[in-house]
Amino acid sequence: MAPVGSNACGVTSTTTRGVYWMIVSCIAFASMWVLIRYASRSLHAFEIVFFRNAIGTLVLVPMLLRNRGLLRVDRFPIHIRRATSGFIATMGTFYAVAHAPLATALSINYTAPLFATAGAVILLGETIRARRIAALVVGFVGMLVVVRPGALPMTPGVIAAMVSAVSTAFSIIAVRALVKSDDSRAVAAWSFILMTIPSLIVASFVWTWPPMAIWPLLLAIGVAAAIGQLTMSRAFALAEASAILPYDFVRFGLVTVAGIALFGERYDMLTLVGGALILASTIYLALREAQLARAGTPTHGEAERAVEAVDAG
């Protein structure tokens, strides 16, 4: 007989809700990437980043006003460090979405947790063992399969995606000190607020006033980013990363189909295989860290995986 609060498959209702919010987040982020590609036909990607931040901040302000205790100023220096790497990551992601095949950009973006795990070993002295090392190797092999240095051109879009992945890794490391005591909504809100002015400064160098037809796209990008971040944070709050990360295949599938159907992109099998290897290694790391956490061994922590999608948005 299944435990109280579980369905017939033994999956708790809380986990089911977490999966639901994860899928909603995947749809929101995939939609945002499509909107970015359309908007980039009229505006520079860096300008789109500014509108994403500004509109996302406005969307989140009512939540902040209703929950005045969310924005803790005593954690401000850590938020600054996290926002700095997040700013670089977002700039890189938006540029990659505008100038690289969508599935390629997303595959490279998935390597951020792999870089974060490697960075934690190098910078924080964390210990990983054979199985997690093997997962890292598989993930980085997947990235090489996607990028294929020497065989495929290293376009500015691909380079931007790689810069974004590395920067997101630094965000994952920085957020470790935040998720232990800060509400995940505050982490998301601070990222919008602190990146708005810097993104305006960078956008000013490529500024052209958006035509009226683009404003609905910009509004939709900001709203989709806020929804994606909040629902992702909610998913990680309700369920273990190991339970919900496999559903990130929804985002990969939607983005790949959108690239083919809407923008005429063509992917060879190696690109899709490489993306699958990267995502599979990320999921395995989450599963392994969940096992270690239950055994009482210190790891990165479940909630930190949400930051990868946060910076992607």
Q: What is the pLDDT of residues 282-298, one digit of tens each?
A: 888 777 766 766 666 55
pLDDT tens-digit series, residues 206-246:
999 999 999 999 999 999 988 988 888 788 778 777 678 77
Report d(CA 100, CA 159) in Å as an integer: 9
The vertex-159 CA angle with 153 and 163, nearest 5°, equals 160
pLDDT over threshold 70, residue 300: no
Question: What is the token pair recorded at 87?
Answer: 């700013």
pLDDT tops 60 at residue 58: yes
36 pLDDT more than 70: yes
pLDDT at 177: 59
- Using pLDDT thresholds of 50, 70 and 90, give the confidence band for residue 29: very high
Whether pLDDT at 247 is above 80:
yes
Give dist(CA 9, CA 24) in Å, integer: 22
Q: Which residues are bridge partners to 6 per DSSP?
A: 12
Question: What whole-number percentage of the chain has pLDDT above 70?
Answer: 81
Tens of pLDDT along 96-150?
A: 999 999 999 999 988 887 888 787 777 767 777 788 888 889 989 999 999 888 7
pLDDT at 169 over 50: yes
Q: Is the pLDDT of residue 182 over 80?
A: no
Predicted pLDDT at 189 = 79
Phi-psi region of 220 (alpha: psi -120 to 50; beta: other; left: phi over 0): alpha
Mean pLDDT, the chain, whole residue set: 82
- The dihedral region occupied by 207, where left means phi > 0, alpha psi between -120 and 50, and beta the remainder, is beta
Averaged over 143-172, what is the pLDDT? 87
Binning pLDDT at 50, 70 and 90, where does residue 92 land? very high
- Greatest mean pLDDT range, 80-89, 175-184, 216-225, 279-288: 216-225
pLDDT interval class at 311 (50, 70, 90) = low
Question: Across-strand partners of 149?
Answer: 152
SS3 state of residue 183:
coil
Is 70 exceeded by the pLDDT of residue 49? Answer: yes
Handedness of CA 55, 56, 61, 66 (dihedral sign): positive
- Would you say the C-alpha torsion 258, 259, 262, 266 has a positive or negative sign? negative
Distance between CA atoms of 189 and 236, rounded to whole angstroms? 16
H-state helical runs in 100-154: 102-109, 112-124, 130-147
Q: Are 214 and 51 in contact (CB under 8 A)?
A: no
Asked if residue 87 has pLDDT above 90, the reply is yes
Question: Residue 44 above 80 pLDDT?
Answer: yes
Query: What's the confidence (pLDDT) of residue 262?
Result: 95
Environment class of 141 (CB within 10 Å of its CB; exposed 0-12, middle 13-18, buried 19+): middle
The answer on pLDDT for 5 being more than 90 is: no
pLDDT of residue 24: 94
> What is the CB neighbour count within 10 angstroms for residue 294?
9
Apex CA 88: angle with CA 138 and CA 128, to 5°? 30
The structure tokens listed for 258 are 């959108």
**Structure confidence at residue 10 (pLDDT):** 45
Cβ partners under 8 Å of residue 66, min gap 6: none
| 280 phi/psi in degrees, rounded to 5 | -65, -40
Across residues 57-74, what is the average pLDDT?
A: 76
Nearest-angstrom CA–CA distance, 188 and 260 = 31
| Amino acid present at 156 | P
Residues 6 or more apart whose Cβ sits within 8 Å of residue 283: 242, 245, 246, 248
Please report, for the chain, the start and end positions of each structural domain, with discontinuous segments joined by +: 13-312
CA nearest neighbour of 75 among 174, 212, 196: 174
Q: How confident is the model at residue 218, as a pLDDT?
A: 95
Number of helices and strands (H, E) in the chain? 13, 0
- Of residues 139 and 2, the one with the higher pLDDT is 139
